[in-house]
Amino acid sequence: MTMPETSAPIDEEEAWRAVTGRDRGADGRFVFAVLSTGIYCRPSCPARRPRREGVRFFADGAAARAAGFRACLRCRPDEAARDEAAVLAAIALLRESGESVPLAALAERTGYSPAHFQRLFARLTGLSPAAYARALRQERAAEALSGTGRVVDAIYEAGYSAPSRFYAGADRLGMAPSAWRGGGEGVTIRWAAAPTSLGPLLVAATDKGLCRVSFGEGEAELRARFPKAVLETGGADFTTLVEQVVAAVERPAAMPRLPLDVQGTAFQQAVWRELQRIPPGETRTYAQIAAAIGKPGAVRAAGSANGANPVAVLVPCHRVVRADGSLGGYAWGEEIKRELLRREGGG
């Protein structure tokens, strides 16, 4: 069987890692074909994996069919590109509209049933369509409130129908809406510095959840990040939370789910949610993260969002590596990243 060249170069080592990891984020990026069966599949196909030497990669189903392969009836690889295009079209509509679009309308535009499209959108972006729309409004509000205009004007400009709609979402934002103006104004943050085997760890939290976890920082760095917040040293009742965070550093493979109070744009939130989906002991590339949130062309932006993660370990940005398998950057140092991965069994 002759193998025509694909229309675009494929990094076969990265592609094989995606196949062995059944990475859904790689669906639509390429297909893999099995010589022994004559079938091509999407990377996340649940079927048993063949030997590496018996696999070929193609840019899409058309290229695989031209080489004589037929589509897998189990994973239906030709639908992956259509799924991604539908989600990207819905995201574009949400951005253009500036407000929520009913799920039924999104589904009708893309040709899916509402229930199926809801699952598809959440799988590819990490958010439901409604949550994505809320995040977009919050992002616009954050940008507008960073200026010098009135809060009410900024709220309407962001697409909220009334100020009450914005304030009703304050629990999703964590900090009060006025805190967007700068540095946690009106917010009380308790903090402590705790020793770990990887060095001193700063743990800081509002009454809603952890807002900063970082290595090698202290009160000065926390105050620079939240210059208008009230900082208080955590008391005895803060000890349990600090112990849980330290335990996550010492045993990252058994990481607990702790409450977070973090801020970010819609894009950053999607990246951070996707990071939390990476299982302990596994890694993803920046390209895989970008693809998984429906932004395959935003690899560099995914890297920036990864680096902007305000809570080390709990949002496991250490599980993202470069396409060539090298560690890549880490806000708190390459040695800490390497050790965290080693403890998880992934480095």
User: Which among 39, 41, 87, 293 is annotated as catalytic?
Assistant: 41
196, 249 in Cβ contact below 8 A?
yes
Q: How many CB atoms lie within 10 A of CB 277?
A: 15
* Tokens coding 265: 């744009």
Distances (CA, A) of 176 to 76, 183, 276: 46, 11, 25
Question: Whose CA is closest to 189, among 208, 212, 205, 170?
Answer: 205
Pairing of strands 201-205, 210-215: antiparallel
Point out which residues pair with 201 in neighbouring strands: 194, 215
- Token reading at 236: 């005895």
Q: Is residue 75 part of an annotated ligand binding site?
A: yes
Distance CA 157, CA 150 (A): 11
Does 211 belong to an annotated binding site?
no
Rounded Cα gap, residues 11 and 4, in angstroms: 16
Evaluate whether 258 touches 209 at the Cβ level (below 8 Å). yes
Let me know: does 194 contact 236? Beta carbons within 8 Å: no
CA–CA separation, 187 vs 206, rounded Å?
Answer: 7
Please confirm, yes or no, whether 211 is among the known catalytic residues: no
Q: Which residue of the set 229, 317, 321, 336 is catalytic?
A: 317
Sign of CA dihedral 312, 316, 321, 325: positive
Residue positions forming the annotated binding site for Zn(2+): 41, 45, 72, 75
Residue positions forming the annotated binding site: 41, 45, 72, 75
**Which residues does the annotation mark as catalytic?**
41, 317
